[in-house]
Amino acid sequence: MKTWYLLGVYLALLNWSSEPALGQKESDSSTPILDIKGVREVIFDNWIAADGVFRMKWPCLKVTLTTTSDIKGDDVIARAYFYDKDQKLVAEFQKMPNANREDGSYGLPPLLKARERIDVFVPIETKAKEGRWRDVVFVFGHPQKLSVEAYPRREALGWKKLPFPEREEIIAQQKRDEEAKRNKSNLPQRSPNAQ
């Protein structure tokens, strides 16, 4: 009887030691998640690359981001797609354009720090203005975990109606995340001998 008790205590300690330490999150070692916290139209007060040259006091979309863990700016996918009323692509950015920020940096910072707000500015190009853009789709994130947001936000998943290269990948990613949530249980496994 005493042997079984000690074996049970030993197994319980093994299971307990595999749990994350107090205050440590399981997601700390996983892929960083870059969240899009908000988008709004602004006039960028400084110089920004628009229409192939630097412009001053140019209309832009300000995108506010946060990340769950530190990530290098060079490792971030940052794209914007502008559409007209017929859902025709009128302008796109495959990376964030250079903008003379108050801290002296350009574009994305070299390091996006965890849980800090990062503002990114996307100029509204002349061709997008002439095409009278109606919607913009933003794609940000780490290659294994992308975030998407449509602006203006008319409905929760409005971006699904617009054609952009990462669309199917993001839909598949969301399905995998939902499946993982359904299969994950926070309750400890019961031993077969427990009553």
CATH of the domain at 91: 2.60.40
Residue 21 falls within a domain, yes or no? no
- Written as one letter, the residue type at 166 is E
Greatest Cα pair distance, the chain, in angstroms, is 83
Q: Would the pLDDT of 59 be above 50? A: yes
The pTM score is 0.74
Residue 190 falls within a domain, yes or no? no
Residue 152 falls within a domain, yes or no? yes
Residue 59 falls within a domain, yes or no? yes
Residue 101 falls within a domain, yes or no? yes
Structural domain boundaries enclosing 63: 31-182
Residue 99 falls within a domain, yes or no? yes
Q: Would the pLDDT of 179 be above 80? A: yes
Q: What is the mean pLDDT of residues 46-74?
A: 89
Residue 41 falls within a domain, yes or no? yes
Count of the separate structural domains present in the chain: 1
Q: Would the pLDDT of 97 be above 60? A: yes
Q: Are 67 and 36 spatial neighbours (Cβ–Cβ below 8 Å)?
A: no
Q: How many CB atoms lie within 10 A of CB 136?
A: 24
